[in-house]
Amino acid sequence: MKKFMDENFLLSTDTAKTLYHSYAADMPIVDYHCHVSAKEIFEDKRFENITQVWLGGDHYKWRVMRSNGVDERYITGDATDFEKFQKFAEALPKAIGNPMYHWCHLELKKYFGYDGVLNADTAKEVWDLAEAKLKEPQMSVRGLIEQSNVAFIGTTDDPTDNLQWHIKIKEQGTLKTVVAPSFRPDKAFNIDKAGWKEYIASLSSVSGVKINSFESLKAALRDRMNFFDTVGCKASDHGLDFMIFCPADEKTLDKIIKKGLSGKAVTAIEAEMLKTELLKFCGKEYVRLGWAMQIHYNCLRNPNTKMFNTLGPDTGFDCIGPNNGAAKVAKLLDSLYSTNSLPRTILYSLDAADNAFLDTIIGAFQGSEIAGKLQHGSAWWFNDNKQGMRDQMVSLANLSLLGNFIGMLTDSRSFLSYTRHEYFRRILCDLIGEWVENGEYPDDIDAVGKIVQDISANNALKYFGLEVK
């Protein structure tokens, strides 16, 4: 029997062990999509206890607690930090087979030096250990980033953001890690959701463009894109509940925008028309700026209306969406490609059933500017578990070129989540090691090691035009 999470955790063959320890483990982390705070990075925030750094804002952990019948008071309510941690520790042992169990123990081991098992009985021991450890110099936000060997952080930012913290980080010049904003214009797209009219007023104010038509909306977004570009933006990100493609002419779009600005509800088709044409516009602008475009779709957001009204979005109540939208993905890519407006594009579907489709559609629209111009993004959200990652990579290998894959991201709000890259790399090395030892790929360790290093970091560095300091 193997020891729990020893140095060869998830590495089942000798080749896998060599690939991980000699080739993957020390590669820099390129975390090109996440939700950490640039303000906290600039201020080099410190945390008083493990709840603040571990449970605050982490809706993955909140779902574990809710699934264990924990009262909301101990999750997002007014319970003490220790009470919240205790409740999580009580729930964690039941997460057998859940990546959360592995993530948590990888984090405890790497950042706190804890080799034990977190449960109800050890919660106080871990709490005390973490509290003492967090006082050490290397446990500030910047310390966590540096000891994790993070080369690049791509945050997620609204077009109206003044990006002051990104600018201050850049001007200060003391952080080796590149911290860049990513353009997330969802609120400008979501004319069918509450608050759009008010958001457009804010966008108009910050851009200096009076928005009353489709052309003026594009002008305002273009202004903000240009500003983001000056601050080092490398990518955009679009969170679509479901994939859209319903073209419309400018006259129709003007009517839709005026309807939305008047406070009247737009129809689902009208909303899809606006979103479609905005995506097409954005694609053209991203080509001009040299940005990558990320599209996340197939998420059914906020199905629990009572909890949404109580806690708001992004609090752990979303699920996999019911509409794969394959034909619409194809039509969007075709529309952009046919007008020379298709940027480097990363597609993520929350439904793992879309793996084969994504791996074949990207092959239909690749370009010669860069190998792997179109990417099937890493196993996303509910799929970033051991089986989900393997399934995504096996499908990508079967139907495209795994060697050009840009690898893992955290998609996290926590500065301890960088161990997810370790988790991914171990799974990657085990998968490739298995193929080598089965005689499915030549036993050339340096050649295979290069593939592992490329997927771990090099491909992403090249894809986003980055240089490691």
pLDDT in tens, 107-135: 999 999 999 999 999 999 999 999 999 99
**DSSP readout, 236-254?**
EEEE-SS-------HHHHH
- How far is the C-alpha of 469 from the C-alpha of 393, rounded, in Å? 30
Tokens of 321: 């969406």
**DSSP readout, 261-298?**
HTTPPPPHHHHHHHHHHHHHHHHHHHHHHT-EEEEEE-
Contact 299, 320 (CB under 8 A): yes
In the predicted structure, residue 440 carries a pLDDT above the cut 90: yes
Furthest C-alpha separation in the chain: 69
Q: Which residue shows structure tokens 């209306």?
A: 305
Q: Give the pTM.
A: 0.97
In the predicted structure, residue 147 carries a pLDDT above the cut 80: yes
pLDDT in tens, 58-114: 889 999 999 999 999 999 999 999 999 999 999 999 999 999 999 999 999 999 999
Instruction: Give the relative orientation of helices 59-67 and 99-112 as an angle to the nearest 10 degrees.
Output: 130
In the predicted structure, residue 469 carries a pLDDT above the cut 60: no
Confidence of residue 324 (pLDDT cuts 50, 70, 90): confident
Residue of 154, 176, 71 whose CA lies nearest to 463: 154
In degrees rounded to 5, what are phi and psi of residue 384?
-85, 55
- How far is the C-alpha of 400 from the C-alpha of 326, rounded, in Å? 17
In the predicted structure, residue 393 carries a pLDDT above the cut 70: yes
Residues pairing with 349 in the sheet? 297
Which letter does DSSP use for residue 157 in this model?
A: B
Which of 172-176, 351-355, 381-385, 464-468 comes out lowest in average pLDDT?
464-468
Q: Which residue shows structure tokens 């957001």?
A: 301
Confidence of residue 142 (pLDDT cuts 50, 70, 90): very high
- The whole-number pLDDT of residue 446 equals 98
Residue 162 carries which side chain, given as an amino acid letter? N
In the predicted structure, residue 467 carries a pLDDT above the cut 80: no
Contact 143, 137 (CB under 8 A): yes
How many helices and strands, by DSSP H and E, does the chain display?
Answer: 21, 10
- The whole-number pLDDT of residue 218 equals 98
Confidence of residue 430 (pLDDT cuts 50, 70, 90): very high
- The whole-number pLDDT of residue 468 equals 54
In the predicted structure, residue 383 carries a pLDDT above the cut 80: yes
How many CB atoms are located within 10 Å of the residue 26 CB?
A: 11
- How far is the C-alpha of 354 from the C-alpha of 331, rounded, in Å? 16
Confidence of residue 268 (pLDDT cuts 50, 70, 90): very high
pLDDT in tens, 352-381: 999 999 999 999 999 999 999 999 999 999
Q: Which residue shows structure tokens 């899809």?
A: 272
- The whole-number pLDDT of residue 322 equals 80
- The whole-number pLDDT of residue 57 equals 83
